[in-house]
Amino acid sequence: MNTPLLYLGEEDGNRIFVKREDLYPLSLGGNKARIAEAWFREIDAGDWSCVVTCGGVGSNLCRVTANLAAARGMGCLLLMHTGRQRDSLNRRLASLSGARILYCPPERLGQTIEDRLAELRDAGERPFFIPGGGRGVPGFQAYAECYREIRADEQSAAVAFDYLFVPSGTGTTQAGLVCGRLRAEDPCRIVGVSVARSRKRGRPVILDNVRQYFARENLPLSEADLENAVVFEDAWTGGGYGLGDYSDTLREVWNRYGLPLDNTYTGKAFYGMRQYLKEHAIRGKTVLFINTGGLPLLFDDLLLREQHEGGERA
């Protein structure tokens, strides 16, 4: 399904566009809606009785997976690793979809997944497991497909993007976009703005994801082209996942453009994009920001902050 391309305006001599993946028309949108939908195409083609996935307490993927499982009358088990966050609107939406939620500390997640899958199989279920972040070939395919959509957007808007910025967590979304760009042999530069991982850890994962996709599609891939196509910037992670305060960017972008961003992914990446353009003295270019969505996360941010700021007493 297509999402809108919008022109935001000019910033420091660059023309900034945004791809509204946050408006992806399913389950409150975001990149996880596009990615989960691709995974469910695989699930629908098989004989599975329930779906299992994992993520943090605020996971967008968990919310969408619970929703799509409920739509099919399938059971859904979510394994949430506990950290700083105790509750979230995504978790509540997953409950609304009737998902069963189990919590465990992050270091026990891998073992817990194996144990629970084995338990389900012993009970006669046929569980399908979606890896955290929706990483895997269907996830890459979803964003290779989105890249094709972006090319069509370019034609209808009569523009050509020099740069494309995307928040990068597990790198699934970025890997998919890079696959699309390599297939199209476009010159557009894709910059992943890391929201957590160091370049040393995050970039090889993306390289590997792209190789996996090309192998699965039986397409040739030159290592030099691949190396050249993966830019993963870790200068603006704010110290780690969920850390850093991007409320100034959130407020300013909301008020100037009416564009919602969240503090975990899109606010951080929008901030990083501006820094990148500044530090590399980039001017006169056409730039696309992928708003990967996560409206529930913005509302989490606002509700949490409300508790601190409160209102004025009358």
Ligand X SMILES: *Cc1c(COP(=O)(O)O)cnc(C)c1O
Instruction: List residues binding ligand X (CB under 6 A).
Output: 30-32, 60, 133, 167-174, 265-266, 292-294
Q: Convert the chain into a string of H (helix), E (strand) and C (coil).
A: CCCCEEEEEEECCEEEEEECHHHCCCCCCCHHHHHHHHHHHHHHCCCCCEEEEEEECCCHHHHHHHHHHHHCCCEEEEEEECCCCCCCHHHHHHHHCCCEEEEECHHHHHHHHHHHHHHHHHCCCCEEEECHHHCCHHHHHHHHHHHHHHHHHHHHHCCCCCEEEEEECCCHHHHHHHHHHHHHCCCCEEEEEECCCCHHHHHHHHHHHHHHHHHHCCCCCCHHHHHHHCEEECCCCCCCCCCCCCHHHHHHHHHHHCCCCCCCCHHHHHHHHHHHHHHCCCCCCEEEEECCCCHHHHHHHHHHHHHHHCCCCC
Complex with ligand X: residue 3 or 292, whichever CB lies closer: 292
Complex with ligand X: residue 141 or 174, whichever CB lies closer: 174
| Nearest-approach distance from CB 11 to ligand X, in angstroms | 21
Complex with ligand X: residue 57 or 120, whichever CB lies closer: 57
Complex with ligand X: residue 75 or 294, whichever CB lies closer: 294
Complex with ligand X: residue 163 or 270, whichever CB lies closer: 270
Tokens of 90: 């995504």
Complex with ligand X: residue 157 or 304, whichever CB lies closer: 304
| Nearest-approach distance from CB 293 to ligand X, in angstroms | 5
| Nearest-approach distance from CB 296 to ligand X, in angstroms | 9
- Contact call for residues 168 and 194 (beta carbons, < 8 A): yes
Q: Tell me which residue of 126, 141, 91, 131 sits closest to 110, measured CA to CA.
A: 131
| Nearest-approach distance from CB 255 to ligand X, in angstroms | 21
| Nearest-approach distance from CB 5 to ligand X, in angstroms | 18
Tokens of 84: 């700083």
Complex with ligand X: residue 26 or 159, whichever CB lies closer: 26
| Nearest-approach distance from CB 276 to ligand X, in angstroms | 17
| Nearest-approach distance from CB 100 to ligand X, in angstroms | 21
Complex with ligand X: residue 32 or 75, whichever CB lies closer: 32
| Nearest-approach distance from CB 60 to ligand X, in angstroms | 4
